[in-house]
Every structure is written in structure tokens, then in C-alpha cells.
Amino acid sequence: MVGQRLGATVQERRARTLVQSGDADEAAMISAIRSQVNALPEEVEPRMIDAVMAGHPDLPPAAKASIRNSIHVGMRGGKERVLYSLKELERNPRPPGMSLRTWWVIQSAAFEDR
């Protein structure tokens, strides 16, 4: 579970960076973000595994494969949640005057609650 949460958090932070660095044309920005999120890597970095292992010193070294799989599942799930949120945004537009960045802050808080 810790690995999945870490993987999802990594992807959601990457998506947040994409939203914050977007341009003023929000329709183009949403399309670009979707493409960029789809292209986010799902490769588990050794430092991610090490971070989980450090938090659980009682785990045997053989647990690394399981942790790697758990993080990968979380990374995939994180991407899927971001893409789902973008789809929901298209179906249910933001309130008038709410910027995409503000909407994303609200979405990010929802991700953290999961």
C-alpha cells in the first residue's frame, strides 16, 4: 500500500507541474496536459524502492520485487486518476471565473485524500 501511494503521488506531482507550466489557452493546455500525462514514465526508480524499504527496516531484501510492483501499480493508477479528472473537467466545466490552476489545486487535494 505504501508503494502504491508513493507511485501515485509521483505521477500526480508530475501532472501538477504540467498544469502549472501551461500556457494561457486552456483548451490547448488541457489537450497538451492529457498528451503529456499519457507520456509520463511508469518506470520505478531504485530510490523509490529504497525509500519504502527505509520506512520498513524489518522487510527482507527479497521484498524489493513486491515493492517495485506496488509502486508501479500506484504510478499507473495515478496517471489514470489524472486522466479521469481531465475527462470529468470536459464533461463538467469549472464554475465561471475558476482558472484551470485553481481547479487543479482542488483536484490535488482530492488526490491526497485518497
For residue 56, with 0-12 CB atoms within 10 Å meaning exposed, 13-18 middle and 19 or more buried, which class applies?
exposed
pTM over 0.75: yes
Q: For 75-113, how does the pLDDT look when each residue is reduced to its tens digit (9 = 90+)?
A: 999 899 889 888 888 888 788 888 888 888 887 776 666
- What's the total number of domains in the chain? 1
Residue 67: CA atoms inside 13 Å, Cβ hemisphere, count? 20
CA distance 26 to 89: 12
Which residues form the domain of 10? 2-113
- Residue 65's alpha-carbon distances to 55, 80, 91, in angstroms, are 16, 23, 39
Q: For 18-38, how does the pLDDT look when each residue is reduced to its tens digit (9 = 90+)?
A: 777 766 677 788 888 888 889
